[in-house]
Amino acid sequence: MKSLSNQVVSMKPSGIRRFFDLAQTMENVVSLGVGEPDFITPWNVREASYAALEEGYTAYSANAGLIELREEIASYMKERFSVHYDPASELIVTTGASQALDIAFRSLLNPGDEVIVVEPAFVSYGPLIEMAGGKVVPVACRPENGFRLDRNDVEGAITERTKAILLCFPSNPTGATMTGDELAQIAELATKYDLWVVSDEIYAELCYDEPFVSFATLHDMRDRTIVVNGFSKAFAMTGWRLGFTCAPEVVTREMLKVHQYGMMCAPTLVQFGGLEALRTRNQHVPGMVKSYRQRRNYFIQALNEAGLPTHVPGGAFYAFPSIRHTGLTSEEFAERLLIEERVAVVPGNAFGESGEGFVRASYATSLEQLQEAIRRIERFMKQFEMTTTRQDSQR
Amino acid sequence: MYSSKELELLELLEEKGYLETKMLADLLAVDEATIESMLEKFKQDGILLGFRAMVNWQKINRHDVTAFIDVKVTPKRGRGFDDVAERIYRFPEVTALYLMSGAYDLQVVIRANSLQDVASFVSDKLSPLDSVLSTTTHFKLKTYKHDGILFTPQTEDKRLNITP
């Protein structure tokens, strides 16, 4: 048989995969390895999707999505993030933010174009860029800055081939956020070097300390930014696969071609669910945000007390504790924690080299489960107390 | 006036009253002394009235009976419904009493050991009160949800152990 695509064959499977297989074989696992809300989609949203099914909305929608949904997204973007998009020409409803990223990169990149990817980063960024012909140029966020991005580090990575910067704040996996002023420094670089910006704002609603600033609202950025957002995190709708892009018409027009030929449209029933979710957002989102904030407060404190130094994440629902002092790699740490104490976390190196020395622990799980996880982590960490003390006294 | 932290504490207590002070302090990012003084204030102000467990007696087959009784009454000049309400809620079998808008005035909830006990409560205690004009008694057959808590089996976490 003839060989398969060299590009795909040479691509590494997600670093999470091996770990996932191991965790699935075990029982009594307290999982902090989940990158999704523990809430179930609000009932009225599920009910709206039922109703659409009952009424027979089983056909294709417009390629860019139901116009009612695009109008509602436009009004949401205006009300919540103070940025205006034309529902008819600047919005596309996608099957999740992942597909939104895919059509964004396919539309932006020529072979060899470089994309600056802010790391540690979500696992699919690199492969999506490479499949679109681009080259990934990682720029690491420094732990000593609480994983906020330094403009000088970005500028140092810009070359003649740089086409775009990919940002994700609040960050998966670090939970780090950026203030408007800090983002403005990155925006200046985009203007100075004439770059596109892809801003993955999927965690926008989940900010606990500072108000979220959409990258598109910064000076000169609306017309060079593709905002990617979706329903998964804010509305607890991960399995529905519903996202959207907001971008100037010049690029939306091109993305729509990729979307049209590759996906046709997002599932119509799901879009009706999304419409209900947006219309009733004020009933659901604030309560979920409050609950995540409380759990963050507890969990970060408890991890630090258990001997895992952890910065306070301003958003998302991830803690990113350092495990360096254990002398283990992040994979060894995660594997031993899973086997010895049945607590699942994700090794930091799954999110890029700069994630080594850290693990991602999601606090989107019940308080009771978090308490149990902390009890087990405390027990697990006891074996390292001796080692640390010994190392300290040798110094 | 209550601060937003105080209101947040009340909401948290209403949902998870069993949490220890240290946990409450961590969740709200304040110290334990602050939580203790807030709790003291709530008690003194009559806002925090107590803590109770939610028990699903249906699981134990205890044959007690809950009845909801719609009561029409004549209000008293100057005192409204309060006097008759007081005479009703003093009976220990009355577990809840509400003044309602609509077709009747008071809703009395009582818990008793048998239908017979409910019947005698209505005929011997409630109906003879001077102000009571009429009563309509409904029996609860099954509890699905009470105070926001489901009494049917909880759904388990349907998420995979690890997702990106």
pLDDT digits (tens, 9 = 90+) for A66-82: 999 999 999 999 999 99
- CB < 8 Å to B24, chain A: none
CA distance B14 to chain A (A): 14
Asked whether residue B36 falls in the same domain as residue B66, the answer is no
The answer to whether residue B150 sits within a structural domain is no
Asked whether residue B32 falls in the same domain as residue B61, the answer is no
> What was the pLDDT predicted at A16?
79
> What was the pLDDT predicted at A381?
97
pLDDT band at A390 (very low <50, low <70, confident <90, very high): very low
Mean pLDDT of the region A152-167:
98
Does the pLDDT value for residue A389 go beyond 70? no
The answer to whether residue B118 sits within a structural domain is yes
The answer to whether residue B110 sits within a structural domain is yes
Mean pLDDT of the region A217-232:
97
Q: What percent of chain A has pLDDT over 90?
A: 93
Q: Which residues contact A108 (CB under 8 A, 6 or more apart)?
A: A132, A134, A163, A164, A196, A198, A226, A251
The reply to whether residue A29 touches residue B155, judged by beta carbons under 8 angstroms, is no
pLDDT digits (tens, 9 = 90+) for B2-20: 999 999 999 999 999 999 9
Between A and B, how many residue pairs show a Cβ–Cβ distance under 8 A? 63
Q: How far apart are CA A181 and CA A199, in angstroms?
A: 16
Asked whether residue B39 falls in the same domain as residue B92, the answer is no
Asked whether residue B19 falls in the same domain as residue B79, the answer is no
Cα distances (Å, whole numbers) of residue A360 to A12, A36, A63, A208, A319? 20, 13, 37, 18, 6
Q: What percent of chain B has pLDDT over 90?
A: 78
Q: Between these two residues, A112 and B59, which has the higher pLDDT value?
A: A112
> What was the pLDDT predicted at B160?
87
The residue in chain A having the minimum alpha-carbon distance to the alpha carbon of residue B161 is A31
Q: What is the mean pLDDT of chain A?
A: 95
Q: Which of B23, B28, B163 sits opposite A36 (nearest CB)?
A: B163
Q: How far apart are CA B54 and CA B56, in angstroms?
A: 7
Q: How far apart are CA A145 and CA B60, in angstroms?
A: 56
The residue in chain B having the minimum alpha-carbon distance to the alpha carbon of residue A33 is B162
- CB < 8 Å to B8, chain A: 290, 294
Beta-strand ranges (E) seen in A184-236 are 196-200, 225-230
Q: How far apart are CA B164 and CA A159, in angstroms?
A: 30
pLDDT digits (tens, 9 = 90+) for B24-80: 999 999 999 999 999 999 999 999 999 999 898 888 877 789 999 999 999 999 889
> What was the pLDDT predicted at A166?
98
> What was the pLDDT predicted at B23?
96
- CB < 8 Å to A342, chain B: none
Asked whether residue B74 falls in the same domain as residue B29, the answer is no
Task: Please report the domains of chain A, with CATH numbers, ordered by start residue.
Answer: 6-41+283-381 (3.90.1150.10), 44-281 (3.40.640.10)
> What was the pLDDT predicted at A387?
53
Q: What percent of chain A has pLDDT over 70?
A: 97
Does the pLDDT value for residue B146 go beyond 50? yes
Which residues of B, range 97-156, sit inside 8 Å of A by Cβ? Answer: 155
CA distance A20 to chain B (A): 5
Asked whether residue B107 falls in the same domain as residue B30, the answer is no
- Torsion of Cα atoms, B152 then B154 then B158 then B161, to 10°: -160
Mean pLDDT of the region A98-110:
98
Asked whether residue B64 falls in the same domain as residue B113, the answer is yes
> What is the rounded radius of gyration, in angstroms, for the C-alpha atoms of chain B?
21
Mean pLDDT of the region B86-113:
96
The reply to whether residue A297 touches residue B164, judged by beta carbons under 8 angstroms, is no
The answer to whether residue B100 sits within a structural domain is yes
Q: Which of A142-146, A382-386, B89-93 has the lowest mean pLDDT?
A: A382-386
CATH number reported for the structural domain that contains residue B111 in this entry: 3.30.70.920
Asked whether residue B65 falls in the same domain as residue B31, the answer is no
> What was the pLDDT predicted at A392?
46
In a mutational test of the B interface, the residue from A24, A297, A299 whose CB has the highest number of chain B CBs within 10 Å is A297
Task: Name the interface residues of A facing B (CB cutoff 8 Å).
Answer: 14, 16, 19-20, 23-24, 29, 31, 33-36, 38, 40, 122-124, 172, 238, 290, 294-295, 297-298, 301-302, 344, 346, 350, 365, 367, 371
∠ CA(A81), CA(A86), CA(A87), 5° rounding? 95
Q: Between these two residues, B60 and A266, which has the higher pLDDT value?
A: A266
* Residue B157 near chain A (CB below 8 Å): yes
pLDDT digits (tens, 9 = 90+) for A2-33: 999 999 999 888 777 778 888 888 999 999 99
> What was the pLDDT predicted at B86?
95
* Domain total in chain B: 2
> What was the pLDDT predicted at A267?
97
> What was the pLDDT predicted at A330?
96
Mean pLDDT of the region A283-288:
95
Does the pLDDT value for residue A147 go beyond 50? yes
> What was the pLDDT predicted at A73?
98
Asked whether residue B87 falls in the same domain as residue B130, the answer is yes
CB-hemisphere CA count at 13 Å for A248?
13
The reply to whether residue A16 touches residue B161, judged by beta carbons under 8 angstroms, is no
Query: Quick one: which of A263, A267, A272 has its CA closest to A68?
Result: A272
CA distance A250 to chain B (A): 32
Q: What is the mean pLDDT of chain B?
A: 93
For residue A102, what are its two tokens?
A: 């895919």
The reply to whether residue B161 touches residue A20, judged by beta carbons under 8 angstroms, is yes
Asked whether residue B76 falls in the same domain as residue B115, the answer is yes
Whats the size of chain B, residue-wise? Answer: 164
Separation of CA A381 from chain center: 29
Does the pLDDT value for residue A116 go beyond 80? yes
> What was the pLDDT predicted at B73?
97
The reply to whether residue A29 touches residue B161, judged by beta carbons under 8 angstroms, is yes
The answer to whether residue B107 sits within a structural domain is yes
Q: A167, A176 in Cβ contact below 8 A?
A: no
The residue in chain B having the minimum alpha-carbon distance to the alpha carbon of residue A370 is B23
- Residue-range definition of the domain harbouring residue B32: 4-44
The answer to whether residue B109 sits within a structural domain is yes
- Torsion of Cα atoms, A299 then A305 then A311 then A316, to 10°: -10
The answer to whether residue B49 sits within a structural domain is no
The reply to whether residue B162 touches residue A20, judged by beta carbons under 8 angstroms, is yes
Asked whether residue B61 falls in the same domain as residue B130, the answer is yes
pLDDT digits (tens, 9 = 90+) for A181-199: 999 999 999 999 999 999 9
**Residue A96 three-state SS:** helix
- CB < 8 Å to B159, chain A: 31, 34, 36, 38
- CB < 8 Å to B23, chain A: 298, 367, 371
Q: B95, B111 in Cβ contact below 8 A?
A: yes
Asked whether residue B29 falls in the same domain as residue B81, the answer is no
The reply to whether residue A16 touches residue B164, judged by beta carbons under 8 angstroms, is yes
